[in-house]
Structure 1
Amino acid sequence: MSTSIVLRRRLAAELRTLRHKAGLSQEELAEHLGAAVSKIVRIENAQSTVSLSDLRVMLALYSVPSKDQESLLELARNARKRQGWWSAYRDLLPSKYVALEAEASDIYNYEPTHIPGLLQTEEYSRALQSADRRLHQEDIDRYVAARMTRQESLWRDEPSLSLHAIIDEAALHRIIGGPEVMAAQLRRIEEATQRPNITVKIMPFGTGAYPSLGVPFVILGFRDPRDPDVVLVEGRGENYFESAEEVAMFRADWIEIDRMATSATDVPRLIRDIIKEIVPWQKQKDPA
Structure 2
Amino acid sequence: MTIEAPSIARAALRQMIIELRTAAQLDQADVARELRVHPDTVRRWETGEIAVKATNAIALAHLCKATGPQLSRMTTLADQGKQRGAVEKHRGGAYPEFRLFADFEPTARAIWSYEPEYLPGLIQTSEYLQAVHEAHLPEQVENPEAVHKLRSTRRRVIFSRQDPPDLRFTIGVAAMTYLDGLDADVRRGQIDQLLEVDRLPTAEIRVLSRMHPGMSGNYTLLTPAKGVLAAGRFVYIEGEGVIRYEEAADVVSHHDKMFRTAWSRAETLEDYLDGR
CA deviations over 1:17-55 (Å, ceiling 9, x no partner): 222222333343333333334322332233321112221
Answer yes or no: is the 8 Å Cα contact 2:8–2:104 preserved in 1.
Answer: yes
1:155–1:272 Cα change, 3 Å = farther
Which residue, 83, 87, 99 being the options, matches 2:103?
Answer: 99
The aligned amino acid for 1:200 is I
Is 1:234 the counterpart of 2:238? The answer is yes
Contact map agreement 1:232 1:238 (CA 8 A) in 2: no
State whether structure 2 residue 208 is matched by structure 1 residue 203: yes
TM-superposed deviation, 1:120: 0.6
Is the partner of 1:40 in helix, strand or coil? helix
Amino acid at match of 1:188: Q
Percent identity of the aligned residues?
Answer: 19
Q: Is the 8 A contact 1:187 1:271 kept in 2?
A: no
Aligned equivalents of 1:118, 1:223: Cα separation in 2: 18
Deviations along 1:227-274, one digit per CA (max 9) or x if unpaired, are: 3144321123463325x42x541343123321332477733111333x
The answer on whether the counterparts of 1:176 and 1:182 sit within 8 Å (CA) in structure 2 is: yes
Alpha carbons of 1:261 and 1:74: their partners in 2 closer, same or farther (altered >3 Å)? closer
* Kept after mapping to 2: 8 A contact 1:127/1:177: no
Q: Equivalent of 2:57, from 46, 55, 58? A: 55
Q: CA RMSD in A?
A: 3.0
Read off the aligned partner of 1:39 and give its amino acid letter. T
Secondary structure in 2 matching 1:200: strand
Conserved? CA contact 2:92–2:146, under 8 Å = no
TM-score by length of structure 1 reads: 0.79
Quick one: structure 1 residues 201 and 78, their matched pair in 2 at CA, closer, same or farther if it must change by over 3 Å?
same
| Distance in 1 between residues matched to 2:82 and 2:206, nearest whole Å | 39
- Kindly tell me the number of residue pairs found equivalent between the two proteins: 268
User: What's the counterpart of residue 273 of structure 2?
Assistant: 271
2:171 paired residue among 162, 167, 171: 167
When normalised by structure 2's length, the TM-score is 0.82
Counterpart in 2 of 1:279?
none
The residue matched to 1:219 in structure 2 has which SS? strand
Residues 145-165 of structure 1: per-residue CA shift (max 9 Å, x gap): 331222112333735444222
In 2, the alpha carbon distance for the partners of 1:83 and 1:179 equals 35
Determine if the alignment matches structure 1 residue 190 to structure 2 residue 195.
yes
- Deviation string 1:95-125 (CA, Å, 9 cap, x unpaired) is 5143333343432222121100001112111
After the TM superposition, which of the residue ranges 71-80 and 181-190 deviates more from structure 2? 181-190
Matches within 5 A, 1:1-288: 1-84=3-86, 86-94=87-95, 96=99, 97-134=101-138, 139-156=143-160, 158=162, 160-175=164-179, 178=182, 180=184, 181-205=186-210, 207-208=211-212, 210-211=213-214, 213-227=215-229, 228=231, 229-237=233-241, 239-241=243-245, 244-245=247-248, 248-262=250-264, 266-273=268-275, 276=276
Letter in 2 for 1:44: E
SS of residue paired to 2:148? helix
Offset of 1:138 from its aligned partner?
Answer: 10
| Deviation sequence 1:205-233 (CA, Å, 0-9, x none) | 2x24x13x232222332214233144321
